[in-house]
Copies of this chain bind each other. A is one copy, B any other.
Amino acid sequence: MSRFKQSAAPDPGRMATELESCVLAILAQSEPCTAYAVRRFLSASLSSYWSASAGAIYPLLRRLEARGWIRAQESRWGTRVRRAFKLTRAGRRHLREWLSPPLPTWAIAYTYDPVRTRVFFLEAAPPAQQRAFLDDAIAQTEAILLRHRSELNAPGVEFPPFEAIGRRGAIEELETRLRWLRAIRARLRRARGRGAL
């Protein structure tokens, strides 16, 4: 998929995509900032939602530049040009707007989870496979939770307050999913033998 959320924007002078606003916010947090640094930030983030591929980021930065939201300061680096970006006043204005209530409705309703989607349709699998699926989902969720917790509590690393809060939120979401998956497994076990779920 090209799997981006277009913020429902038809016309020229259109809204920004989520990734565009997000990159703008990353830039604001540590300007001046190169495309490569943005990519590293994104791929170190907790979700696999964006791949942070070069093919996404470089054209995106050009778009932001064309809209006058960022400006590059260029410097030589061997034979190549190194471009570090800063927000313009217009960029800062957009960033504040992005963080302004009211949130668009789609952003609130936007809960998607490939694991939950599969559970939704798990009836289509035979019982043994249902159990195997849950065992795997639980094990993998536990593993990723461990990773995120140790990242958050790593000694010597201090995250900015809101970033730490965001990371806690992601962890709590995974904890909720884990409880939910365990409850399903328990229910499946009880149902075993005495027929259907």
* A119-B166 contact in complex given A129-B96, A172-B176, C-beta closer than 8 Å: yes
Chain B residues with CB under 8 Å of A180's CB are 168-169, 172
Most buried by B among A140, A174, A197: A140
Nearest residue (CB) in B for A187 is B165
CB atoms of A109 and B165 under 8 A apart: no
Chain B nearest CB, measured from A145 CB (Å): 10
CB atoms of A112 and B49 under 8 A apart: yes
A68-106 interface bits toward B, Cβ cutoff 8 Å, 1 = contact, 0 = none: 000000000000000000000000000110111111011
Does residue A10 face the partner (Cβ distance < 8 Å to B)? no
> How many chain A residues touch the partner (CB < 8 A)?
77
Chain B residues with CB under 8 Å of A166's CB are 116-117, 119-120
A120-146 interface bits toward B, Cβ cutoff 8 Å, 1 = contact, 0 = none: 111111000100110111001100100
Nearest residue (CB) in B for A134 is B101
Chain B nearest CB, measured from A122 CB (Å): 5
Cα of A5 to Cα of B169 in the assembled complex, Å: 23
Chain B nearest CB, measured from A119 CB (Å): 5
Chain B nearest CB, measured from A74 CB (Å): 25
Does residue A153 face the partner (Cβ distance < 8 Å to B)? no
Does residue A163 face the partner (Cβ distance < 8 Å to B)? yes
Chain B residues with CB under 8 Å of A135's CB are 101
Chain B nearest CB, measured from A50 CB (Å): 8
* A114-B18 contact in complex given A168-B180, A173-B176, C-beta closer than 8 Å: yes
A1-B3, A25-B124 provided; 12 other pairs, C-beta below 8 A?
Answer: A18-B117, A29-B121, A47-B111, A48-B106, A98-B118, A100-B133, A101-B132, A103-B115, A103-B118, A120-B166, A123-B160, A161-B197
